[in-house]
Amino acid sequence: MTKRSGHLALGAFLYPTGHHIAAWRHPHAIADAGSNFRHYTQLAQAAEAAKFDLLFLADGSGTRGDDAEYLSRTAHSYVAQFEPLTLLSALAAVTEHIGLVGTASTSFNEPYHIARKFASLDHISGGRAGWNLVTSSSEHEARNFNLDEHYAHARRYERAAEFAEVVSGLWDSWDEDAFVRDKESGRFFDPSKRHTLNHRGEFFKVRGPLNVARAPQGHPVIVQAGSSDAGRALAARTAEVIFTAQQTLDDAVAFYADVKGRMRSYGRHPDELKIMPGVMPIVGHTESEAKEKFDELQSLIDPVVGLAMVSSLTGGIDLSPYPLDGPIPELPETNASKSRQTLMIDLARRENLTIRQLYMRIAGARGHWQVVGTPAQIADALEERFVNFGADGFNVMPALLPDSLHDFIELVLPELRRRGLFRSEYAGRTLRDNLGLHRPRSRYAASVAAA
């Protein structure tokens, strides 16, 4: 197979104290990072100076879990951190080029809310907004929104597909030049360039139009993170970036080919989607230094937290009755994240891991790819996946913030640039410019052209 060339895309996936489950206990961690705006400002500006394509913020609409003892021992599970759209709007004012991607659920919002908020962020940032479309997987979130349990997995993806269609339609409410704002004539906008959606579907009834002018990017960039079959189908239909998790090169190449291969059935070209798997690099000047950094974080893992994390990622089944040093038991199919459950169980079976060994294995990246080594070794690993069509880029998940982000910037990026794998300057002003994504035409402009 022909190997590719070119530049890979890079996202900085910011989780308050870092992605390692025990990062908040590290002496260098900023313990109140989740509600510390100065912390996020410094991270965003460092990532922008390094020419990362985007910042990415995950989110949950509520804490994940009812066990107060477990929750009291972790800074994860969305216990205390900023709502992402609010934070990204503030970061837009202290950055100029880096993309700003935030998570918002199709299960616990209405399409008009999301269309309006992300169009507003795109205007505020000058064309740098991205929406990470998720269906949510947690029963704990559902109970915050008038539900006793979450929608069934297939049902919430059906809802998400219609949700994305409505949002896209609302973003086309106004032509580019609709707002003439002519004081002399007294005409604020041209009525012929205003479009009412009048959507009526299975899940939503939305009249429109959106009360925000057309976004600088046309549409904010749509990001998707599901890797189940339903998630892949949704990504092939709607997404322009997909964040995903694969442990091996073979799995990454297979996922890449599968999702890109589905796009033609939706009338889309494979280049209209960038696949950016998550990766947690722990880098040192030497292998031993990198391993010491990793081992220090591993030593801080609380068994209560480790067990709860494995229980959550394997489908939300309570594993406390099972011996920590025994195998993962046979588990029923989950209504939570099916792809993550499959990934965890396959990993445990493939490497013959006990419950304790599994939580130690995934404590850093929660199922995402984890690489520990020198700058050259990290670059080798990233390059291998990129040139073999296993990724278009990577969503970098710093284990410990701010240290791990600075290590990647100072040690790995120069090596990637030396190899011609990462650019030294931004390609343009918008997130679409920098990711090499086309600007979407309005459905109304397309219909006029056809007529």
For the chain, what is the mean pLDDT?
Answer: 89
Q: Is there a contact between 2 and 385 (Cβ–Cβ < 8 Å)?
A: no
Q: Is there a contact between 17 and 75 (Cβ–Cβ < 8 Å)?
A: yes
Angle separating helix axes 229-238 and 249-262, nearest 10 degrees? 50
Q: Can you say whether the dihedral through the CA atoms of 136, 141, 145, 150 is positive or negative?
A: positive
Q: Residue 324: pLDDT above 60?
A: yes
Q: Residue 206: pLDDT above 80?
A: yes
Q: Residue 451: pLDDT above 60?
A: no
Note the pLDDT of residue 11: 98
**pLDDT-based confidence at 450, cuts 50/70/90?**
low
Note the pLDDT of residue 2: 65
Note the pLDDT of residue 146: 65
Give dist(CA 357, CA 252) in Å, integer. Answer: 23
Mean pLDDT, range 317-328, rounded to an integer: 80
Mean pLDDT, range 158-178, rounded to an integer: 96
How crowded is residue 161: how many other Cβ atoms within 10 Å of its Cβ?
A: 18
Note the pLDDT of residue 321: 78
Structural domains in the chain, CATH included, are: 9-296+366-450 (3.20.20.30), 302-362 (no CATH)
103/136: higher pLDDT: 103
446/205: higher pLDDT: 205
Q: Residue 73: pLDDT above 90?
A: no
What's the pLDDT tens digit per position in 275-313? 999 999 999 999 999 999 999 998 998 888 877 777 776
Of all residues in the chain, what percent are helix, strand and coil, respectively (each to 5)? Answer: 40, 15, 45
Q: Is there a contact between 246 and 369 (Cβ–Cβ < 8 Å)?
A: yes
* Half-sphere exposure for 126 (CA within 13 Å, toward CB): 12
Token couple for 139: 């029963």
Mean pLDDT, range 366-375, rounded to an integer: 90
**pLDDT-based confidence at 228, cuts 50/70/90?**
confident
Q: Residue 317: pLDDT above 80?
A: no
Q: Residue 234: pLDDT above 60?
A: yes
What's the pLDDT tens digit per position in 408-443? 999 999 999 999 999 999 999 999 999 999 999 999
| Cα 294 off chain centre by | 24
What's the angle, vertex CA 241, arms to CA 235 and CA 246, rounded to 5?
80
Note the pLDDT of residue 335: 66
**pLDDT-based confidence at 191, cuts 50/70/90?**
very high
